[in-house]
Every structure is written in C-alpha cells, then in structure tokens.
Amino acid sequence: MMSLTFSALDLVPVIGGVDDTIALNEAVKLAQAAERLGYSRYWVAEHHNMPGLACTSPEVLLAHIGVKTERIRIGSGALLLPHYKPLKVAESFNLLASLYPGRIDLGMGRAPGGSAQASMALSGNFLENVRQLPDSLKGITELMEGSFEYEGEPVVARPSPSIHPELWLLGTNSKSAAYAAEFGMGYVFGQFMSDSDGVEIVHSYRKAFIPSRRCPQPKVIVTVGTVCAETAEEAAQLAASGTALFQSDGAIEEKLISTHRKLFVGEANDVAASLEQLALQYGIDEIMIVTMIPDYKKRLRSFELLAHALQSRSF
C-alpha cells in the first residue's frame, strides 16, 4: 500500500485578457483550494519580463499567500538562485519561516527565468553566476546551519526561525540532481519540461546523496502536467487550447508544452491511476501538479476533480 501525497505548482499565468492583479488573485484562490482539497504544498515559480506570467518575486507573493492560508506548506518552485546573493535569499526565507512556522519551502533553480536581456538587467553575467552556483548553494546551506562566514567573520541570516525552511533543488537533468545530492537537499525533477530519463536521474541523485543536518535521507518530488475534466474529450480540448495559447503567447518555455507524454490528460480517475503508476516507477511518495489551461475556473476544477479521485483510491 502506497502513501502518496500531491502538491500544486503555480506559474501564475495571465490568461483571458485579465490584468496582473487578477492573475495574482487567482493564485490565492488556487492556494486556498489546494489547502482545502488536501494538497500538501503550494509553490510559485519565478519568471522575468514575460507578459504571460505574473510572479517575478516568489517571496513577496508567498508572504501574501501565507496570510490567506492556514496549514498548507508554501514555497518557491523555483527561486532562481544565480540572480541573487545567498544571504539575501536566506534572510527572506527565514523571515517567511518565522512568520509561518513549519510551512516554508525554499525551492531553488538555476534557470534564467526570462530573456537574456532581462537576466542581464537583473544580475549581470548570468553564465558566470551559474558557474558560481556551487558556491551559492554552499552559502545557503551554511547560512541555514548558522556556520556561514565572510572574510573570517560570522554572518547570520536573521531572523532565526524556530523551524527553518526545507531546502529543495529543482531541475530537469543530471547536473541539478548531482548538486542536490552533494549539498544534502531534496530534489524536484521537472518531468513536465524535461526530455531526460527522469527515473535514471532520480536514481543517480539517491545513489550520490550525502546526508545533511536538514535532510538525513534523500527526498524526491516529481512534477508533472495534468488536465482533468468531467469527460476525457473536454480534458483533451482544454489541454490543446492551453498548448495553443501558451505557444502563441511565448510566455512559457517551449519545453513545457512540446511533449505530450509529460502531460496527463483525461477523466480524473484515469489520471489518478496513471500518476499512481508514475510514482511506482520513480519510487516516490509525492507528485507535484501543474495545470496550464486558459481558464481559471476550469483550472480549479481540474485540481478539484483530481483531488477527489485521489482520495477515493487506496494508495
């Protein structure tokens, strides 16, 4: 008997001609629905200079989401670490963890999250920043453990929460898995936007994992795209319209929408059964769901249908 949990990833899309404020309000609604429906986490992504996506600062949006929810874990999926200094990241998420004890996840990634021009405007030479990612990850872990020094002097990321954020590294290939293993972090494999062999990558992460104080055992989440509706035909139509919208909009990376095998579409019971098989294939106990369709109400309904189907199954 499996013990399988599900989480929600929100790219905070701007759809249907709405303004960004409405898109952000819809993010709150999805977080609240996810909490009500029993999803274990709600994460938001970071993107820059993309007219179809409204979240440029996960930590700011999470502060708002935290007020609007009560129990669900909230986090970044992902905060793009090459753009930032480790101290600022640690301070921001320690502050969130102090406001919402036991609920904060710091999920980090190494993608630019926008155009080359946006990346240069944000943090200068992005490729050089990526090259320094191991040092940044080391800095984050030391700051969270209270052992960070700068020029021989201790530096503390304040405030000091009673329960520190969980640390996760997100990725789509073996490089990110190797970093997660090296620094003793949880690993989130983005199957919904990867052409790599996810099972082998997750295996390599587990094999190379070095235990840390925060994470004594390897932890894995796999993120997949899903679209559920009352009928398989409606789900297929929604998935197709979502693909067409985000292709023409140019807001989503091509990888996100180009491979149908990474997208689970249909009636909720069928999708739930497929996700159960996926979990067995990976040997995981948590799957993160992202649903990109051009209708906020039907997006909520998709999460709702899937939750009800999952609750009716004996995992």
pLDDT at 255: 44
How far apart are alpha carbons 313 and 288 in whole angstroms? Answer: 18
pLDDT at 304 over 70: yes
Mean pLDDT of 142-158: 97
pLDDT at 246: 59
Mean pLDDT of 170-183: 97
Tens-digit pLDDT profile for residues 254-275: 444 444 458 999 999 999 999 9
The amino acid at 129: N
User: Considering the chain, what percentage of its residues have pLDDT values greater than 70?
Assistant: 93
Tens-digit pLDDT profile for residues 92-126: 999 999 999 999 999 999 999 999 999 999 999 99
Query: What are the CA-CA distances from residue 190 to residues 193, 220, 288, 309 (Å)?
Result: 6, 11, 9, 23
Domain layout of the chain by residue ranges: 5-312
pLDDT at 1 over 60: no
Query: What are the CA-CA distances from residue 160 to residues 62, 100, 121, 153, 157 (Å)?
Result: 18, 12, 32, 18, 7
Mean pLDDT of 8-32: 97
Tens-digit pLDDT profile for residues 34-46: 999 999 999 999 9
Tens-digit pLDDT profile for residues 49-74: 999 999 999 999 999 999 999 999 99
Instruction: Find the length of the chain.
Output: 315
Neighbours of 298 (CB within 10 A): 20
Instruction: Report pTM.
Output: 0.94
- What residues have CB less than 8 Å from 159, skipping those under 6 apart? 94, 95, 98
Query: In DSSP terms, which residues pair with 2 in a beta bridge?
Result: none
pLDDT confidence bin for 313, thresholds 50/70/90: confident
Mean pLDDT of 220-247: 91
Fold entry, domain 5-312: TIM Barrel (3.20.20)
Mean pLDDT of 148-165: 98
How far apart are alpha carbons 302 and 306 in whole angstroms? Answer: 6
Tens-digit pLDDT profile for residues 189-198: 999 999 999 9
pLDDT confidence bin for 138, thresholds 50/70/90: very high
Neighbours of 314 (CB within 10 A): 6
Mean pLDDT of 201-221: 97
- Whether the Cβ atoms of residue 86 and residue 150 lie closer than 8 Å to each other: no
